[in-house]
Amino acid sequence: MIIKASNRGGAISLGQHLLKAENEHVELHEVRGFIAHDVMGAFKEAQAMASGTQCKKFLFSVSLNPPQSESVRVEVFERVADAIEERLGLTGQPRVIIFHEKEGRRHAHAVWSRIDTETLTARKLDFFKTKLNALSRELFLENGWAMPKGFENPKLRDPTNFTLKEWQQAKRVGLDPRELKSAVQDCWKRSDGVSAFANALEERGLYLARGDSRGYVVLTLDGEPFALSRLIDGKTKEVNAKLGDPNQLRSVDATKALIGEKVAPRLSSYIKEAKRIAVNAMKPLIEQRQKLTEAHQNARKEFDTKLKDRWDAEQQARASRTRKGWAGVWDFMTGRYFKVRKQNELEVQFAKERDRAERHGLVTAQLKERQDLQANIKTARRREAEQVLSLYRDAAKFRRMRESREQVPARVRDKGLDLG
């Protein structure tokens, strides 16, 4: 289970993020230690408590991400949350647990208030990333899950991981940041110099340019610059050693002008058409996703209602075993009362485990159905990306052919001589 955590302020923004409608299922599992019973109310309480301290980041937010292919029971998430409390010194602190489901993946968010109500100070969370990484490794081993390469060997971590800032920057221009970083790294590995590298980038709709203070940068078709050293996870010295002095290239502004004057106008209509076709192809899948989400939500509501009705009926039956009045006094004196109470406690425990198991079975079946649909959606998205990439390659080839033609002296072109 991958565990990511951070200290947070902004109670309202965090609450809105955890409840946002873009998730197909949002399930409030637990609100503990707060007066309020809802997420926003609980976080506002934490903020009010923090106002009496100097702590600005008074919430500790953790995401719990099990492998998508595994069916993980609620009890596992609860045990992980308890283990985090024990290791970080958060035992007894107010917390909220929320489950999210999107695109066939189920994960949980746990948020604690760091403010100790007795001392009005914030709990210190020293080295929490190191401690959570160790816990994460233990969970993979205990549950028999396939260990991520990054845990087996830190040098094998996924090289296409973006920072939050890079992720948001790439999202602004409508790119998949992992695809962008992977594409640049592929061009870098198979290029032996600046010309080969620039040509390889252009086949992917990317352009090499000279940055103001960052040396080499890579521009997207929209003119958004990305530092090359960050994309290849390398150092500036390494980049300069392979590509030479960045001053030999066009500036960012000149490259943007080149894109605007020669490339973008030719491509825009083709790309729009390709995307229009892709959108139309995706419509049936999107409609199917919406219908499936609504059906799953309704099924869960109906199932939860049945569970509640059954629980209430069983509770009533258990309560009827305890007699009132003189009969109750007699039961107490003879010990029958204690036998009935023990029986009721065992039945309550059994009923809770049964209800959780049945609901887990429902959620697991729905996740499997949603994952099958998501596989079709990914295939359609991949097909769209391949079509657009083909357009980028065609444009790059055309531009290089045109530049090559312009470099040939006019007198030679007019004579039609073959320079090959």
Does residue 115 contact residue 124 with C-beta atoms inside 8 Å? no
* Whether residue 87 sits in one domain with residue 27: yes
**Tally of domains within the chain:** 3
Answer whether residue 111 is part of any domain.
yes
* Whether residue 183 sits in one domain with residue 152: no
Rounded to whole angstroms, the Cα distance separating 395 from 274 reads 15
- Which residue range(s) make up the domain with 211? 164-249
Answer whether residue 414 is part of any domain.
no
Answer whether residue 127 is part of any domain.
yes
* Whether residue 73 sits in one domain with residue 196: no
Rounded to whole angstroms, the Cα distance separating 81 from 112 reads 10
| pLDDT of 412 | 39
* Whether residue 9 sits in one domain with residue 142: yes
| pLDDT of 212 | 76
Residue-wise pLDDT tens for the chain (420 aa)?
A: 889 999 988 899 999 889 987 788 999 999 999 999 999 999 999 999 988 888 899 999 999 998 888 888 888 999 999 999 999 999 989 999 999 988 888 999 999 999 988 888 888 988 989 999 889 988 888 888 777 766 655 554 555 566 666 655 665 555 667 778 888 888 888 888 888 988 888 888 788 888 876 688 888 876 788 888 888 887 877 887 888 887 888 888 888 877 767 666 666 677 777 777 777 888 888 888 889 999 999 999 999 999 999 999 999 998 888 888 888 888 888 888 899 889 989 999 999 999 999 999 999 999 899 988 888 888 887 877 777 777 767 666 656 655 655 554 554 344 333 323
Compute the Cα dihedral for 185, 186, 191, 194 and give only its sign: negative
* Whether residue 197 sits in one domain with residue 244: yes
Q: Which neighbouring-strand residues pair with 76?
A: none
Which among 156, 189, 209 is the end of a domain?
156
* Whether residue 148 sits in one domain with residue 179: no
Does residue 136 contact residue 2 with C-beta atoms inside 8 Å? yes
Q: What angle do CA 25, 31, 32 make, to 5 degrees?
A: 155
* Whether residue 168 sits in one domain with residue 148: no
Answer whether residue 334 is part of any domain.
yes
Answer whether residue 270 is part of any domain.
no
- DSSP assignments along 317-378, one per residue: HHHHTS--HHHHHHHHHHTHHHHHHHHHHHHHHHHHHHHHHHHHHHHHHHHHHHHHHHHHHH
pTM: 0.63
Q: Which of 171, 189, 275 is nearest to 226 (CA)?
A: 171
Burial class (CB in 10 A: 0-12, 13-18, 19+), 28: middle
* Whether residue 191 sits in one domain with residue 148: no
Answer whether residue 19 is part of any domain.
yes
Answer whether residue 407 is part of any domain.
no
Which amino acid belongs to residue 113? S
* Whether residue 58 sits in one domain with residue 152: yes
Answer whether residue 81 is part of any domain.
yes
* Whether residue 139 sits in one domain with residue 24: yes
| pLDDT of 79 | 92
